[in-house]
Amino acid sequence: MTAACSKKSSTATSSASSGTTPDTTKTFLPTATAAKRMVIADQSTNRVIIVEPDSNTIVWEWQPATSNVRSQDLAWFGNMSDARPVYNNQYILATASAGGVALVRIADKKTVFYGYSGNGNTHSAEILPDGNIVTASSTGAYLALFHVDTLHSPATAPLRKITLNDAHNVVWDSVRQRLWSASGGTLYAFSYNFQCTSPGLTLIDSLALPATGSHDLYPVYGRDSLWLSTSSKVWSIDLKKRTVAAAASLARVKSVSSGPAGYPTIVLQSIDTDQQWWNNKIITFSGDVIFLQTGLKAYKARWMLTSNFGQSGGNTVKTCQ
């Protein structure tokens, strides 16, 4: 079931991109799930899995080949590249290097929406406030915008592409009403036009980073900050102070995710930079193994925690008209 979301008015759109002072009084503390779980993009069989690290078990999986994805579209989902919990942990937003993006309901594994972002090595995706989806493609050097219509899926192409060299990541910031994306040695900020069936992004700000090779960008649990991984380190970006601090001297980090007390910050560190860009284990900053399974080719791992950094909350998929 979907909840309708009407277009934003022109007034709301202009205020979101006018540079007004953000509401920094908003809490950033998500609610932890009852059991520790993480979601993993696994390239061993092109699937997404949810695991319980304490018992080292897989408790859920989604494979395009056994879902309602059409047979002619399965090639879009080669090499799963990201998976993140959305809509209060009721759905998974997944991407694949071959260009696929999918919104999957956890309860019954139904792919409620999916599309093809092009042959550009898609690395990440994010839900926008009206329910539309934006993806980042690295070798294609673009961000791609999809109008999410669960009644007309799949989308064989995005509605718009925005050029961004070496695009690897996207994160929506609900306080500042902007989309962040780190590329090379720069963090970029885009405003969103809130035009449902003609979505667009406009570059409005940038921040120089202390290193190049930006890869993962993800909210820091409970803080107005973002994790950033580059070629040789993991960093924390304080968005209010506009400062960047080194967090861990770890190279080849594909994903970073943190949580409340009892949830260590986890990373997926690839085996090498060439053919083995995945790993069979998830580790902490200190190198402790949190999850390990023989044969796993994990590319990214995220704690299953709800967060209001980007989304407004709720368990129901948003669509707009």
Nearest to 123 by CA among 110, 113, 137, 112: 137
Q: How many residues does the chain have?
A: 321
The pLDDT value recorded for residue 296 is 97
pLDDT digits (tens, 9 = 90+) for 203-258: 999 999 999 999 999 999 999 999 999 999 999 999 999 999 999 999 999 999 99
Q: What is the DSSP letter of 33?
A: P
Strand partners, 256: 267
Question: In order of start, what are the domains of the chain with their CATH numbers?
Answer: 33-307 (2.130.10.10)
Strand partners, 318: 3
Please spell the DSSP secondary structure of 140-189, one letter per residue.
Answer: TTEEEEE---TTS--BSS-SEEEE-TT----EEETTTTEEEEEETTEEEE
Cβ–Cβ under 8 Å, residues 118 and 97: no
Q: Which residues contact 25 (CB under 8 A, 6 or more apart)?
A: none
pTM summary value = 0.89
Cβ–Cβ under 8 Å, residues 304 and 39: yes
Q: Tell me the two tokens of residue 176.
A: 């500042």
Give CA torsion, residues 289, 293, 297, 302, to 10 deg.
-50
Lowest mean pLDDT among 13-17, 47-51, 121-125, 278-282: 13-17
pLDDT(10) > 70 = no
Nearest to 207 by CA among 234, 228, 231, 232: 228
If one compares 22 and 311, the residue with the highest pLDDT of the two is 311
CA distances from 14 to 10, 20, 25, 238 (A): 6, 10, 22, 25
CA distances from 167 to 33, 186, 190 (A): 31, 11, 13
Strand order, beta sheet including 289-292: 253-257, 266-269, 281-284, 289-292
The pLDDT value recorded for residue 34 is 62
Residue 259's Cβ-count burial label (10 Å; 0-12, 13-18, 19+) is buried
The pLDDT value recorded for residue 33 is 46
pLDDT(147) > 60 = yes
77 φ/ψ angles, rounded to the nearest 5 degrees: -110, 35
Nearest to 124 by CA among 310, 318, 306: 310
Strand order, beta sheet including 201-208: 171-173, 178-183, 186-192, 201-208
- For tokens 């044969």, the residue is 295
